[in-house]
Every structure is written in C-alpha cells, then in structure tokens.
Amino acid sequence: MPEVRTWQLTAGAAVVGLALAAGAVAAAGPWDSGQRKAERDWAAAQSPVGGAHHERPGPKDPAPAPSAPGVLAALGAPSNATAKSSNTAPADLAKVLAPLLGDSGLGTVRTACVVDLATGKRLYGKGASDPMTPASTIKIATSVAALSALGPDHRIPTTVVASKDARQLTLVGGGDASLDTAGLRTLADRTARALRDRGVASVRLTYDTSLYKGAVRHPIGPNRNIAPVSALMVGEGRYDERSTGPSDRSGDPAGDAARAFERLLKDRGIASSAASAPGRPAAGSALLAKVLSVPLSALVERTLTNSDNDIAEALARQTAIATGEEPGFEGGGRAVTKQLAKLKLPLTGARIADGSGLNRNDRLTADLLTALLARAADPDHPELRPVLTGLPIAGFSGTLQSRYTETSPGTGLVRAKTGTLTGVNTLAGTVVAPDGRLLAFAFLAANTPSQEAAQPALDRLAAALAS
C-alpha cells in the first residue's frame, strides 16, 4: 500500500473526540471542522435512510465519550504517539484480534485488515485479499469514485425547460436522489415567476427521465430499502417523505414527482392543459428554471452516515456520466471500478455490481476497503475527505448510533460504515487508538447466524483497536 501522511487527520479525529466529549453532537450533530453545515438540520432531525436491515431505534441524547481523556492526552504528546506507533508489533495486535475474530457470531468466513494511516503499514491481516460480499461497505468505494470523478463541490441539477412560446414545459431529472418537496417547491416558484414574466398562465407538462439507462428496478426487486432508480424523484419515492429507514416506496417515483410539480404550479396560478406525461423537451426548448442539490461532499456524507441506498445508486450513475459510461447498474459499476483503478487501488478480485451494496454479487476485499480509507486520508487527495467525515460515529450518529454503549471504549472514537444483508455482516472505518494514531480497519463476515450475533462481534473488534 502506498505510504500516506495523515498526521493532520489524526489530530482532526482527536478533535472530533473532544467535541463529542463536550456534548456538541447532542446539539448539532458530529460536524467536522464545519464541513457538514449543509446537513446540520437534517442530522438534528435524525432522519436516517437505512440500507438493508439497517433499522435502528429512535434518537437518544448521547453521553460524553468516556474515551475522550485518552484523546486529550494524545494531543498533548504527538511525538510520543509517533514513538508508540513504531513500537506496536503486529504480533501483539494479532493476540488481541484473533480471539475476537473467532466469535461464532461472525459465521464461517471472516476476513480482516488493519492499517496504520500514518505510515500505510498493515498491522494485521486475515484473508485480507479474499473477495467477500461487502454489503453496504461498498458505499465507501462508490463515494471515493464519485468524489474523484466529479469533485466535492459538484451539484446535481433538476431543471425545467420551455418551448419557444413557453407553453410546453419539461421537468428534466438530473439524477438528484436527495430532491425533496421543499426543493420541488422552490423549482415551482422559479418556474411560475418566469412564466408570469412571459404572460403565460397555462402549459402542458411532460417529464424527462432519459438521463439514466437500463433497468430501473434494482436486481433485488421491489424492496422497502430502495426505490426504482430514476433520474427524477422526490423524497426518494417514499409514500411518506417524513419516514425513516426502510419504508414503503412508489413504483413510479418520476410520475409522482411530475404530478406533484403540476399541483405546485396550479397553486401558483399556472394551469395545465393536459395531465403530465413522459416526454422529451420540444425542439428549440431552453432552460426556464432550475434547482441544485447540496454539494456532492454533503451527499457522500449523507450516503455513508445513514447508508442511503438511493443516493448511493445516484452517485454511481453520476460517476458513469462523468466518465463516459452508460448510467445504469452495469455502467455505474464499470465507472466506479475505472475511477478506483486511476487511484491505483488494489482491485484484484473486486466486482462492483451496484452502488449501494444490496447486490450479493458485489465483491470487495478487506485490503481494498482499508486502501480506500487510506486514500481518503491522504493529504494529496483532499477531495476525498468527505468519505471520512461521513462515516457514522460509534454511539452518536447514523447506523452506529445505537450500536455502542456509553461505557464502550469505542464510543466516539470508532467511525465506520456498516454493512448488513441476511448472512452477511461487515464493518469498515477508522479508529483513534489510545496513543492518538488513526487506524483504518475492515472486518467482513459471511454465513453469519444473525445480525443480532454478528454486529456486537464486529463492534467488539473495532472497540478493541480503540482500547
């Protein structure tokens, strides 16, 4: 693995631990150096969108992280932390992790990799190059590829184009899976204002989803964890936009979005001469109004924190568009793989069949997952930093909010992407070690008896690195 230089990130992670100890998360969410202000309201509302089997209890007020004093001590002695790093023998780490990996809750196949991000040195490996079904930890790969191809400031548009006489409108989906009713309302405001300026009070509305290609349904079929993948949707196709986690979904999110837009125009004095229908813009049409998503950095953070399948699939397709691949499941997989290859990551045995990890044909190695995290920590790739800031914080946020207790040594110091399918449980992320070092880890398990048995076993592995 290439050497990475991450003393800055180690300090940043330590500061996060201190912020947690101060209770900042309870008030405004685990924001890193102001990078996540765009989603402050979202996190305060605790509105997770889970991946497969990522349901969890409602919000709680977290207690201060008990491990924060250790972080404070490490911050006061960076030179000592460096010395300790060189004295830690992989054999010692193996003595700690091997028994925990033997937990029966981890099923019959377990792989693992632990890397010191300051040096790039592997400290522990067990089957680290064996391809495994990653479940939702594949979202780390999807996110790295999207940020690499598009940059953290990229925003996804949803537009309205109008014919020359402005009497034929087309609502054009740009692939923003995060578009909500408030955003659609803003688009309707701008559209109605532009039409009134032209003296138009009645229009015919069509909607265009042609940006995406191929199958609309994920190979798993109708599922409460993901809507049909469309370039146009509102509220991720949920029947109740206020719902969280797995939720009943529309079979026609694009049509629902267009009908909602039509109603919003009517409320603003713009009548429809006919019901909205699928269609392409009329010849000579020009942009009339648009809204933009939050920056890609915020979309990545939301994807990782809450294991958002809909946005993950959108990220894969946006990567495909940026790299000249067909924006569908297969093209998205090729595009993600292409971007990871450009970053010179270890792709032997990897297969990316979707962006979300719901497809059991996905394959990643523990080595690749830790390499992805190392690349995101590399000072030469600041565009990838949202991959680290978006990881759920143990005991505080996202899919790790309820998985660590107040007394766990990993609380506040483990940041990790969860992965859960029936019989598959994974965990990959970073942890602040007692000496202040930042470690990357990946633990993957197959043929697990239940998530109730596997998840605590994985959490104990990550917590052991913090203690």
Catalytic residues: 136, 139, 307
Instruction: Enumerate helices (H) and strands (E) in the chain, giving the number of each.
Output: 15, 11
Contact 336, 319 (CB under 8 A): yes
As a whole number of Å, the CA-based R_g of the chain is 23
The distance in angstroms from the start CA to the end CA of the chain is 25
d(CA 26, CA 19): 10
d(CA 358, CA 360): 6
Query: Between the CA of residue 44 and those of 18, 343, 397, what are the distances in Å?
Result: 20, 35, 10
In the chain, % helix, strand, coil (3-state, to 5) comes to: 40, 15, 45
Is the C-alpha dihedral spanning 370, 144, 394, 218 positive or negative? negative
* Ramachandran angles phi, psi of 198, nearest 5°: -100, 5
Contact 333, 325 (CB under 8 A): no
Residue pointed to by tokens 């043929």: 447
Nearest C-alpha neighbor of 77 from the set 388, 462, 434: 434
d(CA 17, CA 252): 43
Give bridge partners of residue 459 from the DSSP assignment. none
Contact 371, 138 (CB under 8 A): no
Structure tokens at 425: 């449980």
